[in-house]
């Protein structure tokens, strides 16, 4: 039944995409056989009115009809140009995550269920929603305490969003599995793994306690950083479906004239923004992955305040070293070293030639060195780098793609603040300091320390590992003497699984047949 529902939901999504002209707006290069036939049918199904609009507008209409789950899917795919291509990723990034608000009474019910206390006990005033997105909406509220009245922002999860997302997610997995089965070239991009990543990130985003934890972690990391902060969390009024945080009285970072009128220097803010992001990335390995201009404010003290941390990114020590070394290699024009770093990290399969890869890297680096520093984009450099690595079978690294996408956004905001923004000059103090600390003698010391720590942990586990190895050896000996046998329960389970598989196949054929009949009548 679950599989049937997934097929039906997928059919509906395909119908909406076809009618709104989204499929017709996609390139048909390389399509053959059944895929080309389906594409031609989709073009015939498109509304005539859709042919006069841009693809981004067609996407917006289709997503609006399909609902919140598809908004999140499009937001996620906008961060994966390696999967959907640069052009489509740009169109997806233009989609606004704005939905109709749900009644304030429903919001109060969710807060009371999540915290265990009525809203009137938690807040002295609770206002109507001022903003609504696919997963949650925000309400202004006030709290009376010993220090007087303080204003807070209350973010409440949309009713029914979890159930709807989980149902739609089955369709997303179905498409991913079909892509891996029918399109061998897509396996390098790991579509099923992408669907799992979407599932995990959205689960996190739908639990307000985890967003509160992200705010708290970033606040601790940046406590002593100049020019940047995040709102304080009110943990007493935070639960699974609600997070209460400090209300930010500030100017949107995109309102340049208002910033100047308030006495803030946009040029200085552009440097603070990029340096803050690089500190979070290189030093902490934890960054706000949705730092667009709508989520950034400047408070009265001139500090940049980042809100809405539903999406975050993490980089391990290896990924941070990889990033720093390739940036340093491009600066020094050491393309051989940039290539070697990719192979050392295991990102490019060993059967490829390092010198050939270095040649491809040079094709990216040399044109950059012919430009002025003000026109060189670090984000564009990383984009070109990931495009080249595709030629060398480099597997998708979701954490690096998310970093690259976030860097595009942050760099764009910095250039909005300062049209003559020099990315390399602004980032040098942070990147240079990190390289000095982590790629010189200090790196050797840190590696030795980590090695000793790992060896100590392994020594602690040695008795348990020896016991497991002995038990495994005995089981293998027994299998070699007696052969591999299934108990009755296992055999029965295998039979049931095979029956389900056959049943799912028959259901799929019926669904496809019904869809063909439906399309025929529509035509």
Last residue of a domain, one of 204, 233, 262: 204
**Catalytic sites, residue numbers:** 290
Q: What are phi and psi of 236, to 5 degrees?
A: -65, -30
Has residue 263 been placed in a domain?
A: yes
Q: Does 363 share its domain with 478?
A: no
Give me the torsion for CA of 511, 512, 518, 520, rounded to 10°.
-160
Q: What count of other Cβ atoms lies within 10 Å of the Cβ of residue 464?
A: 9
Q: What is the pLDDT along the chain (523 residues), one digit of tens a residue?
A: 566 666 677 777 778 888 887 777 777 766 667 767 777 888 888 887 776 777 777 877 887 788 777 777 777 777 666 666 667 777 776 666 677 889 999 999 999 999 999 999 999 999 999 988 888 999 999 999 877 899 999 999 999 888 888 888 888 888 788 777 766 666 666 778 778 877 877 888 889 999 999 999 999 999 999 999 999 999 999 999 999 999 999 999 989 999 999 999 999 999 999 999 999 998 999 999 888 888 899 999 999 999 988 888 888 888 888 878 877 777 678 888 888 888 887 778 888 889 998 898 888 878 766 666 566 666 667 767 766 766 777 766 667 777 877 887 888 888 889 988 877 778 878 877 887 787 755 555 555 555 565 556 656 676 776 777 777 777 666 666 665 554 566 556 556 555 554 554 455 444 444 454 444 444 4
Last residue of a domain, one of 439, 473, 500: 439
Q: What are phi and psi of 478, to 5 degrees?
A: -65, -40
User: Token digits for 422?
Assistant: 């020099």
Cα(484)–Cα(273) distance, integer angstroms: 62
Cα(254)–Cα(306) distance, integer angstroms: 13
Cα(317)–Cα(468) distance, integer angstroms: 31
Cα(191)–Cα(186) distance, integer angstroms: 7
Q: Does 397 share its domain with 476?
A: no
Q: What count of other Cβ atoms lies within 10 Å of the Cβ of residue 284?
A: 16
Considering only CA atoms, which of 281, 275, 274 is closest in space to residue 315? 281
Q: Does 338 share its domain with 475?
A: no
Considering only CA atoms, which of 100, 156, 168, 170 is closest in space to residue 132? 100
Q: Does 480 share its domain with 397?
A: no
User: Token digits for 427?
Assistant: 């980032």
User: Scanning the structure block, which residue is given the tokens 């990029």?
Assistant: 274
Q: Does 267 share its domain with 359?
A: yes
Q: What count of other Cβ atoms lies within 10 Å of the Cβ of residue 196?
A: 15
Q: Does 188 share its domain with 267?
A: no
Give me the torsion for CA of 120, 121, 127, 129, rounded to 10°.
-110
DSSP 51: G
Has residue 220 been placed in a domain?
A: no
Q: Does 404 share its domain with 255?
A: yes
Last residue of a domain, one of 385, 415, 439: 439
Has residue 381 been placed in a domain?
A: yes
Segment holding 156, helix H or strand E: strand 148-157
Q: What are phi and psi of 120, to 5 degrees?
A: -65, -25
> Is the distance from CB of 253 to CB of 297 less than 8 angstroms?
yes
Has residue 54 been placed in a domain?
A: yes
Considering only CA atoms, which of 410, 421, 400, 387 is closest in space to residue 324? 400
Cα(375)–Cα(371) distance, integer angstroms: 7
> Is the distance from CB of 377 to CB of 407 less than 8 angstroms?
no
Tell me how many domains the chain contains: 3
Q: Does 34 share its domain with 62?
A: yes
Q: Does 274 share its domain with 414?
A: yes
Has residue 172 been placed in a domain?
A: yes
Owning domain of residue 449: 444-484
Q: Does 458 share its domain with 374?
A: no
Q: Does 285 share its domain with 389?
A: yes
Has residue 383 been placed in a domain?
A: yes
Has residue 313 been placed in a domain?
A: yes
For 316-382, give the DSSP string.
Answer: -HHHHHHHHHHHHHHHHT-HHHHHHHHHHTT-S-TTS-HHHHHHHHHHHHHHHHTS-GGG--HHHHH
Has residue 103 been placed in a domain?
A: no
Q: Does 410 share its domain with 261?
A: yes
Segment holding 470, helix H or strand E: helix 441-482
Considering only CA atoms, which of 96, 74, 212 is closest in space to residue 155? 212
């Amino acid at each position: 039944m679950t599989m049937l529902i997934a097929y039906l939901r997928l059919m509906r999504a395909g119908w909406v995409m076809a009618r709104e002209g989204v499929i017709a707006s996609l390139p048909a290069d390389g399509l053959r056989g059944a895929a080309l036939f389906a594409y031609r049918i989709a073009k015939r199904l498109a509304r005539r009115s859709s042919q006069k609009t841009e693809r981004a507008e067609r996407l917006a209409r289709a997503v609006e009809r399909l609902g919140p789950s598809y908004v999140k899917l499009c937001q996620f795919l906008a961060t994966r140009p390696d999967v959907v291509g640069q052009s489509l990723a740009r169109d997806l990034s233009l989609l606004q995550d704005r939905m109709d608000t749900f009644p304030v009474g429903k919001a109060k019910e969710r807060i009371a269920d999540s915290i265990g206390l009525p809203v009137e006990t938690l807040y002295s005033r609770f206002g109507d929603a001022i903003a609504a997105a696919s997963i949650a909406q925000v309400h202004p509220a006030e709290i009376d305490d010993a220090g007087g009245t303080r204003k807070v922002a209350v973010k409440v999860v949309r009713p029914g969003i979890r159930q709807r997302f989980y149902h739609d997610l089955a369709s997303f997995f179905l498409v991913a599995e079909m892509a891996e089965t029918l399109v061998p070239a897509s396996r390098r991009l790991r579509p099923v793994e992408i669907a799992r990543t979407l599932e995990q990130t959205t689960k996190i985003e739908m639990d307000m306690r985890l967003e509160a934890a992200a705010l708290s972690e970033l606040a601790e990391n940046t406590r002593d950083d100049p020019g940047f902060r995040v709102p304080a969390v009110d943990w007493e009024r935070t639960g699974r479906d609600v997070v209460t945080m400090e209300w930010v009285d500030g100017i949107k970072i995109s309102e340049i004239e208002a910033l100047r009128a308030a006495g803030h220097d946009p040029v200085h803010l552009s440097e603070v923004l990029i340096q803050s992001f690089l500190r979070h990335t290189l030093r902490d390995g934890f960054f706000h992955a949705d730092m667009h201009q709508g989520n950034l404010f400047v408070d009265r003290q001139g500090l940049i305040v980042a809100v809405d941390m539903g999406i975050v990114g993490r980089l391990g020590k290896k990924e941070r070293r990889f990033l720093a070394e390739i940036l340093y290699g491009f600066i020094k024009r050491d393309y051989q070293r940039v290539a070697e770093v990719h192979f050392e990290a295991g990102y490019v399969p060993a059967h490829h030639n390092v010198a050939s890869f270095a040649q491809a890297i040079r094709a990216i680096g040399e044109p950059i060195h012919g430009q002025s520093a003000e026109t060189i984009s670090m984000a564009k450099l990383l984009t070109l780098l990931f495009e080249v690595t595709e030629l060398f079978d480099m597997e998708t690294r979701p954490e690096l793609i998310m970093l690259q996408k976030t860097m595009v956004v942050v760099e764009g905001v910095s250039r909005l603040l300062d049209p003559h923004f020099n990315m390399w000059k602004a980032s040098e103090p942070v990147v240079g300091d990190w390289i000095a600390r982590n790629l010189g003698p200090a790196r050797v010391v840190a590696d030795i320390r980590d090695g000793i720590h790992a060896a100590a942990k392994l020594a602690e586990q040695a008795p348990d590992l020896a016991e497991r190895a002995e038990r495994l050896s005995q089981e293998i000996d027994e299998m070699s003497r007696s052969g591999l046998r299934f108990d009755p329960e296992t055999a029965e389970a295998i039979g049931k699984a095979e029956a389900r598989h056959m049943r799912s196949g028959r259901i799929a054929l019926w669904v496809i047949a019904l869809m063909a009949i439906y399309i025929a009548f529509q035509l």
